[in-house]
Amino acid sequence: MVSSDLIDELWIIKADGTTILNERKDLAIDELLFGGFLVAINSFLIEIGLEQCQTIITDNAKLTILYSSSPSLIFIAGSSPIASEKEVNEKLKVIRLTFTTHFKNWAKDQYVIDKKTKKLFTSLL
């Protein structure tokens, strides 16, 4: 479970929509559905000539999205709609750096998230 007051949920998703890691405080969501949703939004925006989506805001939640090109991953933090986007982005950048450093010696696109590794990433929140 995510322990941050700033971030309520954390997702790390491959560019094809496959979820590598997800941590949520509240109800569960279908990982394939969520990953596919984000990839579809991104594809649509790029198709119509816009840039990648960086934030999705609703009345009760905000998703801050950070991309990595090497490896090709999407890092998503769910927070309150009034959470500081700058602070959430800073935390996501630390998580991205830690993730790419932690898995730098792994074969391409092969990530094993055990309890110890999951604890490492959620402790950064």
Rounded to whole angstroms, the maximal C-alpha distance in the chain is 41
* Residue 43: both structure tokens together: 């594809």
Mean pLDDT of all residues in the chain?
79
- CA dist list (Å): 2 to 13, 24, 35, 120: 17, 6, 19, 11
Whether the predicted pLDDT of 102 surpasses 60: yes
Whether the predicted pLDDT of 37 surpasses 60: yes
Segment 42-67 mean pLDDT: 81
Per-residue pLDDT reduced to its tens digit, 18-34: 888 888 766 567 777 87
Q: Is residue 89 part of a domain?
A: yes
Q: Is residue 79 part of a domain?
A: yes
Q: What is the pTM of this model?
A: 0.77
d(CA 78, CA 23): 10
DSSP H or E run through 40: helix 31-47
* Residue 27: both structure tokens together: 């109800």
Q: Is residue 23 part of a domain?
A: yes
Domain count, the chain: 1
What is the reported pLDDT for 2?
45
* Domain at 67, CATH number: 3.30.450.70
What is the reported pLDDT for 3?
42
